[in-house]
Structure 1
Amino acid sequence: MGVQIESRSEVDPAPRGLARLVDPGSIAIIGASDRPGSLGRRTVENLLDHSDFGGDCFLISRSGAQIAGRAAYPSILDVPSAPDVAMLVVPATATLTTLRDCAARGVRYAMVFTSGFGEVSDDGRHIEAEMARIARDSGMRIYGPNSPGLCNQNRRIGMLFSPAWQTDQRTGPIGIVTHGGGVGRAFMQASDRGVGVGLYASTGNEVDITAADFIRHMADADDISVIAASLEGIKDGGELAAAALYAAECGKPVVALKVGRSEAGARAASSHTGSISGAAEVNSAAFREVGVVEVDTLDELIDTAALFARKRPTGREKIAVYSVSGSVCVMAADALADAGLELARFGDATRRQLSEQLPSYAAIDNPVDLTSDVMADPQLSYDSLKTVAADPDVGAVLYPFPCDWGGISGQIAEATVAAQRETDVPVLPIWLSDRLGEGWTTLVDGGMTPMRTIRQASQATKRWVERGRWAVPKDWQPLPTGPARRDPVPREALSEAEAKALLRAAGIAVPEGRVATSAQEAVAIADALGYPVVAKVASRAITHKSDIGGVAVNLTDPHGVAAAFARITAAAMRHAPHVPVDGVLIEQMKVVEHGTEVFVGVHRDAIFGPVMTFGLGGVFIELFKDVARRMLPLTPASARALLAEPRCAAILQGARGAPAADLEALERLLLAVSDFVCARGDEVEELELNPVLVGRAGAGLVALDAVLVKRSRDGEN
C-alpha cells in the first residue's frame, strides 16, 4: 500500500517561498555515512564540521546506530520532529519511497542529490513526474534531483556534498543560481579574487523548485544585491521572465549566462538537465525585455556580476583609462571603442591638476599614462587616480596592471585601494600578468575584484552601462506559459482567405477578396471589387504560392482574370496534385504610395510563449535577417521600442530625406496582432504577415499576404 501522504493543508501549512530552505531550523540527512569519501560522509562533514548551523540535525542511516559520533535513525519516519529540510543522499531506486516518507513525516523541503532521472531517459522523466506529483499533493517542496545542493554563505550553512565548500566561503552580496553545479562552484571560487557570494543554489532538473523561485527569493533577500544565473534549460519561460522582472522592480539586476545556444550545446544541455534549450535569439530577446543582462562566458558572468555589486549604473557613464603603460592604455581604448563605450573628456581643472601631479612627459588626456615613474613613487598613483575619478565626466576607470613588479606592485595596489576608498566611481583593476604577486593579493583583500583581461573588463563595463539605460517596463507582465513544451504540437494551416477573414474581423487591414471556383466566378468577383486585382491559389497546403506559379498580379480586365485562373489551377495540379485546392483567391490589388515592405510575425516559442518578430519584409527578411523580437502581449511602449530596434528603423523614419513611413499605423498594427493572438489563448501557433506595405505618414498600410497556423484540436479549426 505504501505510506499515506497527508495533504500539507491538513498538517503544517508551509509557504511557497524558500526562506526556511535556505535558513532552516532543523535538517535531516538521509543516507548519512561514515564511509570515507562517500557523498553521505561529505554531506555530514559540510553541515556538522564546516557550517555554523545551530539547529537540530537528524542523521538517517539504515546501516549503523551511529554516524559521526551521533545517534542515527533508521528512517525519516522515526525522527522526533519534522525537519524543515531533508537532504536525500540515496540511490535513485530509493528516491520515490524516501520522498513519500518525507512528505508523510511533514518535511517542508526535500533536497534530492541523486542523478539518473530525466537527464538520461524517458523512464527517468516519468519518475520526475511522480516526484512533481508528490510535491503537488503534499505541499512539500522538492529541490532537484541531480543537484549538488545549496549553501547559504552569509549564514555559513552548507547543505551540499562538495569536498571544496570549506575553502569557498567568502561571503558577499551576490546570489548564484545555476543548473550545473560545476559552473556555480567555479563562480564561488572567484572568491580568490575577492568576489563574495551570499547564496548558492544549483537547482538540477527542477521537478518543483526552479531557478525562477530562487530569483524571486533573492530579489526579496536583504543580504543579496545582485543575482547571477547560469541556465542550461528553462522549464517555464513565463515564470522566469516574471521573476526577473520582479527582481528588477526590487532593484536587483540579474546577470545570466544561457548555455546550450548552438545545436550541439542544446543537445548537451538536454542530456545534462533534461530541459529544452530554446532558440538563442528568442532567449536573448526575452532576457533584454525583462532587464536580464546576458553574457557570453563564465568569465563575463563573474566580472559583470562583481561590477554590479560595486555600484549601480545610470547608463550615462563615460570611461577613463589609466595605467603605467602607454601601450596598454591604447589596448584598453581600442577595446572600449569595440564595445561601443565612450571615453570621458577631462575638464581643464583635471588636466591642470594631472600636469602638476605627473611627470612632464606623462599623458594627461584620457587615456592617462602614469609612466614608469610610479615605480619610484607609488604616491603618484594615489594622487592622480583620485584626480581622474573626480572628473565630472568620468563614470568608471579601467586600470590595467601590465605585469607584476613584486613589492612595488604591492605598493601601487595599496595606493589604488586607498584611492578607491575616497570615491564612489568604480576603479576596475585589470591584472594582465600570469604571476599573481603581492599587488594582486592587495587588490583582492582591498575589495577591488581585479579582472584578468582587457576585453573581459570592457565587455563587463559595456553590459553594466547598457543595463543602466534600461527601465522597468510599465503596465506590462509576461504571459504565463506553463512548462516548456517537449513534444511537437499538432498544427493546421488555414488558407490565406480564411486567415485574412479572421484578421479583417479583428480590425487588421487586409485586401478585400473572395475565393472563386471557376473562371466565370473569378471574373464576377473581379468586376465587383474593381480592377486591378490579384489572383492567388487558395489552399491550406500551399503556403509559398509564388514558388509554384500560383500568383498573378496587376490583372486589369476580365480576359486577364480568366486566363490567370486557368494558369494558377493548372500550376497547382502540376506541382501539388495530391493536396486539396479551394479555388483561386481574387483580391483588390492594393497600391500604397511610397510603400515600404515590412514583416510582422508571431510564433509560439516552446519556452517563452508567443513572440513577435518585426523587420524588413518581402525577400529582405531572409536576405538580411534584420529583425527585432518582443514577448507578447505588447504595450504601446513596447510596440514603439520594437519598431525602433532593427537597423531598418532608419528607413521607416525617413533616411536621407525620404518620406517617413506611417509609424502610427504600424504601431496600431503591431498592437492589433498582439491582441489577436493573446485573445485566442494557446490556439495560434504561427502568424505571418509578409509583406505588409506601409505608406508614408498618414497613408496607412495593408497586409498583402497572411499565413496563420493554428493548434489542431481533434481535427477542428
Structure 2
Amino acid sequence: MFEPYRFQDLTPLFNPKSIAVVGASEKEHSIGNHTMKNIVEHSRFAGTIYPVNPKQDMVMGHKAYPDMASLPEAVDVVIVVVPAQFVKSTIEQAGEKGCGFAVILTSGFSEADDWGRAEEAALVEISKRTGIRIYGPNCPGLVNLNIPLGMSFSPAYKDDLVPGSVALATQGGGLGRNMLQHNARGMGFSIWSSSGNECDLQVADFVHYMAGDPEVKVICILVEGFKDGPRFAAAAKRAAEMGKPVIGLKVGRSAYGAAAAQSHTASITGSAEVNSTVFAQLGVIEVDDLDEAMDVAMLFTRAIPRGDEKVAVFASSGGAASLCADNVGTAGLTLSDFAPETLARLGEVLPSYAAISNPIDTTSISISQPQAFLDAIIACANDPNTDIVLAPMPMDYGIYTARGAQSMLEAQKTTDTPIVPIWFSERTGEGYHTLAEGGLVPFRSLRNMGKAVRRWIDWGTWRSGFDMAWTPLIVDQGVAAPATGTRTLTEAEGKRELAASGVPVTAPEVATSAAEAGEIAARMGGALAMKIVSARITHKSDIGGVMLNVAPADAAAAFDTIMANAGQAVPDAPLDGVLLEPMARPGGVEAFVGVARDPVFGHVMTFGLGGIYVEMFKDVTRAMLPVSQAQAMEMIGRLKSAKLLTGYRGQPPRDLEALALLVARVSDHVVAHAERIEEMDINPVWVGAEGEGALALDAVIVVRA
C-alpha cells in the first residue's frame, strides 16, 4: 500500500550547530581546503566544527580526528570530500554514530558507471537503516547566505555573500551558481541547495522546506529530471498553500537536452509536455532561461500580484518609451489610465513639450531639472490606477544617469508600487550600480521584461483561481510500477465500464453473425455505425473495420464486409464480431479525451478537438488527475480552437457543460480504477449544440493484465 511521503525538517541541515568535514585539509587548492576555508574564514558559523583527517592533527586551527567514529559527539552535518571508494565507510560510521545529515561532495557514483551505481545504492541502504539523510552525491554543497554559512567547496562562495529572500533549489551546480551570481545586479538570496544525484534528498524536499521558511519570498528550481513525482507534487502543493511562488526551469525539454541531463545527474528527464502540465497546474512558473528565472523572481520580491495589474512606462527618451510600450502590448499587458490628479501633477512639474500620458517621456529634464524628474516619477508611481512602473534607460550618461537612478530610489520610498528599471546599455556604469545596490534590480532587456511581467501577473490570476482543496491523485496514491502485461478491452467492454461511472456513451450491441447483425439493426432502426470487435485491433477504421450510416437493410452485408476486411488485415487476430449502434445526430463537433500513465507523474489527461486540430495543429490541453467539472471547463477554454465550441462564424454554441461533465466523469472513472487502467482513448466524443449533450462514440481502454 502506498504511504504518502513524510517530509523531514531540514533546519539542522541549513542551520546546523555542529559540522564535521571528512577530508578537511591544509593543502592549498584542494577540495577539502576550499570547504574548510568557506566555513572557517568566509562564514559566520557559531557552532562546532570537526575536521576529519587521519594524516593531520590540526586543520586551520581546529583539532582534527582520524575518523568519524572518534568524534566526541554526533554532528548535525557531515561534509564528505574523500575519494569515492572511501565514502561508503564514512557514511556507515556517521550513520552508526547518529549524525543527522551527510553532504557528499564527491563524484563518481550513479552518474559515472556500474560500480558507482552500486555504491550509491549502498548509501541509500545505510540511510534507511541508520536514519542519516544523504544530500548528493556529486554536488557542490549548499549555502545559507542569511547566516552566512557555506558548506561548499566553491572558490566563488566568498564573492556571493548577498543575503535576501530568493531561495534556489537546483540539481546542477554550475547553473545554480550562475543564478546566485545575479547578485551582481542586486538580487539577494537566502538559501541555495544543489542536490546532484539526489540518491535520498531531492529538490522536492528543499521546496517543501523553503515554502515554510519565513525568510523566503520566492523559490527558484532548476531540474534535469524528477525521480519521485508524488514527492515533488506534494512539495509544490505545499508552496501554493503557503503563498510562495515557485519558478521552474526544466532542463531536458528537447531530445538533445534530455540526453545531456541523463548523463549529468542520472535523473529521469520525463516528458516535456507532462512536466509543463504539472508545473502549470501546481502554479510553478515555467521559464526558458536563467536570466528569465531571475527576472521573474525579482518581481515577486517586490510585490505579490493579484492578476489584473496595470503598467505605467516612465522614460526620459521618446524612443525608449515607445519601444517599451510596444513590448508591453506584445506581451499582452495593459497600460494604466492615469487618474486626473496624476495628470495634473505631471503637467505641473514637466515641461509643456513632455508627454504626460502613459507612456511618459520626460525629455531631457533628467539632466537639466533633476527635481522635476523626481517629482514626476513620484507622481507616476503613486497613481492609484498603476500597479507597476517600468523605467526604460537606453544609455549611460554617467553622473546624470546615476542621479536619475538615485531619484528612482527616492521615489520608491514613497510607494509600494514597484519601480522597475530596464537597463539597455552594454555599459554598466555608476547608475546601474546605484540601482543594484539600492534593490531596484534592473531588467537587462525589454524582451525579458515583457515575458517576466506577463508571468508575474499570470501567477496572480492562477493563485486567485486555484482550489486549495484539490490534491493531485499521485500525492495520495503514488505512481504504480511499470506494468508487466496489459490487455485492451473491447469497445463494448469499455463502454459498459464507462457507463457504470456515469460517462454518457452509446449503447452498443455485438453481433456474431450476419443474421444477428440484421436482427439487431432492424430493432435499432435508423442509420447505424458498425465496427469490428477485437482486442487486437484498436485502430479499426485503418483496416476497413468501420462502416458508418449503414441502413438496417444493409447491416448483414456490412457485417460480412467488416469481418472480411479485418481477417485480411490482421489474419491472426481473434474476431469477436461486429458492434452496432445508432449514429449520432448530425451537426455535432468531434472532440477526444485521452488518459495515459506517465512513469513519474502518474495518470495525465489530454483533451482536444478532433481532426486537423490535433493532427496538424497539436492543439491539446493536459491535466493531472483528478479533474473536476470546473477544471475540465478550464481545459476546454485553453484550447486555441476553443472558439469552435462557443459559436464561431454563425455555428451554434456547443454544450460545454455536458462536455465538461463527461471529461470529469472520465477522470472519476480512472481515479476509481487507477491501479488497473494504463491508458484510455475516447475518440471521438460527439458534442451537440447547447442542451443536446455530449456522448462518447468510441472507447479504447488498456488495463493491466
TM-score (structure 1 length as normaliser):
0.94
Amino acid corresponding to residue 497 of structure 2 in structure 1: L
In the TM superposition, residue 353 of structure 1 has moved relative to its aligned partner by 1.8
Name the CA distance, whole Å, in 1 between partners of 2:30 and 2:515.
84
Match of 1:501 among 488, 491, 496: 496
Match of 2:467 among 473, 498, 517: 473
Amino acid corresponding to residue 164 of structure 2 in structure 1: G
Question: Is the CA contact 1:517–1:582 (under 8 Å) kept in the aligned structure 2?
Answer: no
Name the CA distance, whole Å, in 2 between partners of 1:702 and 1:183.
50
Equivalent residue for 1:689? 682
Equivalent residue for 1:577? 571
In the TM superposition, residue 433 of structure 1 has moved relative to its aligned partner by 1.1
Equivalent residue for 1:525? 520
Amino acid corresponding to residue 493 of structure 1 in structure 2: T
Amino acid corresponding to residue 405 of structure 1 in structure 2: Y
Question: Alpha-carbon deviations, 1:55-96, whole Å to 9, x = none?
Answer: 111111133233223321111111000001101112222222
In the TM superposition, residue 526 of structure 1 has moved relative to its aligned partner by 2.6
Equivalent residue for 2:31? 39
Matched, 1:324 2:316: yes
Matches within 5 A, 1:101-500: 101-471=93-463, 472-480=466-474, 490-500=485-495
Moved more, 517-526 or 41-50: 517-526
Question: Is the CA contact 2:630–2:660 (under 8 Å) kept in the aligned structure 1?
Answer: no
Matched, 1:707 2:703: no
Matches within 5 A, 1:483-632: 490-558=485-553, 560-578=554-572, 580-592=573-585, 594-632=587-625
In the TM superposition, residue 282 of structure 1 has moved relative to its aligned partner by 1.9
Question: Alpha-carbon deviations, 1:181-200, whole Å to 9, x = none?
Answer: 11211111111111000111
Name the CA distance, whole Å, in 2 between partners of 1:203 and 1:276.
15
Unaligned runs of 5+ in 2: 1-5
Equivalent residue for 1:5? none
Q: Percent identity?
A: 44
Equivalent residue for 1:16? 8
- Sort the Cα spacing of 1:385 and 1:146 in 2 relative to 1 into closer, same or farther, 3 A: same
In the TM superposition, residue 491 of structure 1 has moved relative to its aligned partner by 3.8
Question: Is the CA contact 1:225–1:252 (under 8 Å) kept in the aligned structure 2?
Answer: yes
Name the CA distance, whole Å, in 2 between partners of 1:493 and 1:321.
59
Amino acid corresponding to residue 468 of structure 2 in structure 1: K
SS in 2 for 1:154: coil
Question: Alpha-carbon deviations, 1:548-580, whole Å to 9, x = none?
Answer: 11111111124x2222222222222222223x2
In the TM superposition, residue 657 of structure 1 has moved relative to its aligned partner by 4.6
- Sort the Cα spacing of 1:376 and 1:604 in 2 relative to 1 into closer, same or farther, 3 A: same
Name the CA distance, whole Å, in 1 between partners of 2:379 and 2:613.
52
Name the CA distance, whole Å, in 1 between partners of 2:354 and 2:121.
67
In the TM superposition, residue 487 of structure 1 has moved relative to its aligned partner by 6.9
In the TM superposition, residue 492 of structure 1 has moved relative to its aligned partner by 3.1
- Sort the Cα spacing of 1:528 and 1:97 in 2 relative to 1 into closer, same or farther, 3 A: farther
Question: Alpha-carbon deviations, 1:264-292, whole Å to 9, x = none?
Answer: 11111111111122222222221111111
Moved more, 117-126 or 353-362: 117-126
Name the CA distance, whole Å, in 2 between partners of 1:298 and 1:212.
20
Question: Alpha-carbon deviations, 1:375-415, whole Å to 9, x = none?
Answer: 12222321111111122221111111111111111111111
Question: Alpha-carbon deviations, 1:636-691, whole Å to 9, x = none?
Answer: 33223223221333332333453322222222211211111111133222111111
Name the CA distance, whole Å, in 1 between partners of 2:288 and 2:614.
26
Amino acid corresponding to residue 263 of structure 2 in structure 1: S
Moved more, 667-676 or 300-309: 667-676
Equivalent residue for 1:6? none
In the TM superposition, residue 354 of structure 1 has moved relative to its aligned partner by 1.4
Name the CA distance, whole Å, in 2 between partners of 1:421 and 1:144.
43
SS in 1 for 2:594: strand
In the TM superposition, residue 262 of structure 1 has moved relative to its aligned partner by 0.8
- Sort the Cα spacing of 1:675 and 1:459 in 2 relative to 1 into closer, same or farther, 3 A: same
- Sort the Cα spacing of 1:708 and 1:165 in 2 relative to 1 into closer, same or farther, 3 A: same
In the TM superposition, residue 618 of structure 1 has moved relative to its aligned partner by 4.0
Name the CA distance, whole Å, in 2 between partners of 1:172 and 1:582.
68
- Sort the Cα spacing of 1:494 and 1:19 in 2 relative to 1 into closer, same or farther, 3 A: same
SS in 2 for 1:537: strand
Amino acid corresponding to residue 522 of structure 1 in structure 2: A
In the TM superposition, residue 321 of structure 1 has moved relative to its aligned partner by 1.1
Q: How many residues align?
A: 697
RMSD: 2.0
- Sort the Cα spacing of 1:25 and 1:349 in 2 relative to 1 into closer, same or farther, 3 A: same
SS in 2 for 1:686: strand
Name the CA distance, whole Å, in 1 between partners of 2:439 and 2:648.
49
In the TM superposition, residue 631 of structure 1 has moved relative to its aligned partner by 0.8
Moved more, 145-154 or 594-603: 594-603
TM-score (structure 2 length as normaliser):
0.95
Equivalent residue for 1:4? none
- Sort the Cα spacing of 1:622 and 1:489 in 2 relative to 1 into closer, same or farther, 3 A: farther
Amino acid corresponding to residue 576 of structure 2 in structure 1: G
- Sort the Cα spacing of 1:307 and 1:78 in 2 relative to 1 into closer, same or farther, 3 A: same
Name the CA distance, whole Å, in 1 between partners of 2:575 and 2:566.
11
Unaligned runs of 5+ in 1: 1-13
Name the CA distance, whole Å, in 2 between partners of 1:510 and 1:483.
30
Name the CA distance, whole Å, in 1 between partners of 2:362 and 2:601.
51
Question: Is the CA contact 1:235–1:483 (under 8 Å) kept in the aligned structure 2?
Answer: no
Question: Is the CA contact 1:537–1:581 (under 8 Å) kept in the aligned structure 2?
Answer: no
SS in 2 for 1:660: coil
- Sort the Cα spacing of 1:564 and 1:658 in 2 relative to 1 into closer, same or farther, 3 A: same
Name the CA distance, whole Å, in 2 between partners of 1:459 and 1:568.
54
SS in 1 for 2:690: coil
Question: Is the CA contact 1:417–1:448 (under 8 Å) kept in the aligned structure 2?
Answer: yes
- Sort the Cα spacing of 1:631 and 1:563 in 2 relative to 1 into closer, same or farther, 3 A: same
